[in-house]
């Protein structure tokens, strides 16, 4: 495996954007009003989520990312008891209406080396926009992570999807290859399971974004999807040992012998 990047690849990243907001504290008693824990809040952290987490992870590899995302972000609030690392409740803000779709009326930029679509199905990437982007980048690698149940809008691409979402698909694309993540069991590609390292799991939030970013980076430098799946397994298994939406740092990658 190469240890040095040969060039700075350019990535066009399109997708939904959110803020992951963590409210940390301790729960020492139940509310007298209802049998629910009362959190004594000690700190709040705000992190970039969805496609913005993908961007941060891509940039950790030294990739040059041009990011198109919704201007009105969604907020995902998580309340966490720090003594046990336990999520108590999550509540979301900003999903009362779909976000404004990407404006592709004059979008013709094909200068990137790869197209990455992080489609959380919140409204920024409509089926028509997905078709347009896939056609625009049909001669270059395309990587997709989508929450849509009908994926016929995607073509000529690799689709990263978790096992539960894969089983719930209503319609499949005709011209795409699937990489199905299997949690602790690794990932499935082309009828072959690529195992992952066993690790103690603290938080799987954002692990799919970490996997996607690693997959794209390794593909750019090796042009082997098989190597890329194994590499993404390794990086994602590291990320779930951390609390909260995690961005793999250059220091992490050096420790793992990647950079």
What are the pLDDT digits (tens) for 168-200? 999 999 899 999 999 889 999 999 999 887 654
pTM: 0.88
**Closest to 76 (Cα-Cα) out of 251, 235, 206:** 206
pLDDT at 3 over 50: no
pLDDT at 96 (0 to 100): 87
Q: 251 pLDDT band (50/70/90 cuts)?
A: confident
Query: What secondary structure, in 3-state letters, does the chain show?
Result: CCCCCCCCCEEEEEECEEEEEEEEEEEEEECCCCCCEEEEEEEEEEEEEEHHHHHHHHHHCCCEEEEEECCCCEEEEEEEECCCCEEEEEEEECCCCCCCCCCCCCCCCCCCCEEEEEECCCCCCCHHHHHHHHHHCCCCCEEEEECCCECCCCCCEEEEEEHHHHHCCCECCCCEEEEEECHHHCEEECCEEECCCCCCCCCCCCHHHHHHHHHHHHHHHHCCHHHHHHHHHHHHHHHCCCCCCCCCCHHHHHHCCCC
Q: Tokens for 161? A: 């999807």
pLDDT tens profile 194-246:
988 765 444 455 688 999 999 999 999 999 999 999 999 988 877 665 555 56
**Cα 170 from Cα 178, distance rounded (Å):** 15
Average pLDDT, the chain: 89
Contact present, 238 and 248 (Cβ < 8 Å): yes
Q: Kindly state the percentage of the chain with pLDDT values over 70.
A: 90
Q: Which residues of 207-218 are buried (b: 16+ CB within 10 A; e: fewer)?
A: bbbbbbbbbbbb
Tell me: pLDDT of 4 over 60.
no
Q: How confident is the model at residue 86 (pLDDT cuts 50, 70, 90)?
A: confident
CA atoms within 13 A of residue 115's CA, in its CB half-sphere: 27
Q: What is the pLDDT of residues 49-70, one digit of tens each?
A: 999 999 999 998 999 999 999 9
Is pLDDT above 90 for 16? yes
Which of 100-114, 120-134, 236-250 is predicted least confidently?
Answer: 236-250
Provide the pLDDT for residue 8.
Answer: 85
**What pLDDT does residue 241 have?**
54
Instruction: Report the pLDDT value the prediction gives residue 198, as an integer from 0 to 100.
Output: 65
pLDDT band at 1 (very low <50, low <70, confident <90, very high): very low
pLDDT for res 184? 84
Model confidence band, residue 2 (pLDDT cutoffs 50, 70, 90): very low
- Taken in order of first residue, the domains within the chain and their CATH numbers are 10-255 (3.40.1190.20)
Let me know the angle formed at the C-alpha of 27 by 26 and 32, rounded to the nearest 5 degrees.
150
Decide: 114 and 54 in contact? Cβ < 8 Å.
Answer: no
pLDDT over 80 at 28, yes or no: yes
């Amino acid at each position: 495996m190469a240890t040095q990047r040969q060039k700075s690849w350019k990535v066009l990243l399109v997708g939904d954007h959110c803020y992951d907001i963590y409210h940390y504290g301790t729960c020492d008693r139940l509310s007298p009003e209802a049998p629910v824990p009362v959190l004594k809040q000690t700190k709040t952290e705000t992190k970039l989520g969805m496609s913005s987490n993908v961007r941060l992870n891509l940039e950790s590899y030294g990739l040059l990312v041009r990011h198109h995302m919704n201007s009105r972000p969604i907020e995902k609030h998580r309340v966490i008891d720090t003594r046990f690392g336990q999520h108590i409740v999550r509540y979301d803000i900003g999903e009362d209406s779909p976000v404004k779709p990407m404006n592709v009326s004059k979008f013709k930029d094909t200068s990137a080396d790869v197209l990455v679509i992080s489609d959380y199905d919140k409204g920024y990437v409509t089926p028509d926009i997905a078709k347009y982007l896939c056609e625009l980048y049909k001669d270059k690698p395309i990587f997709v992570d989508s929450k849509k149940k009908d994926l016929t809008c995607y073509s000529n691409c690799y689709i990263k999807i978790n096992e539960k979402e894969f089983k719930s698909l209503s319609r499949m694309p005709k011209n795409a290859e699937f990489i199905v993540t299997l949690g602790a069991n690794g990932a499935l590609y082309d009828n072959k399971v690529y195992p992952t390292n066993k690790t103690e799991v603290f938080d799987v939030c954002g692990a799919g974004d970490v996997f996607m970013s690693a997959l794209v980076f390794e593909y750019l430098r090796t042009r082997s999807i098989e190597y890329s799946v194994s590499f993404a397994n390794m990086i994602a298994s590291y990320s779930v040992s951390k609390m909260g939406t995690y961005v793999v740092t250059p220091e992490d990658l050096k420790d793992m012998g990647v950079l």
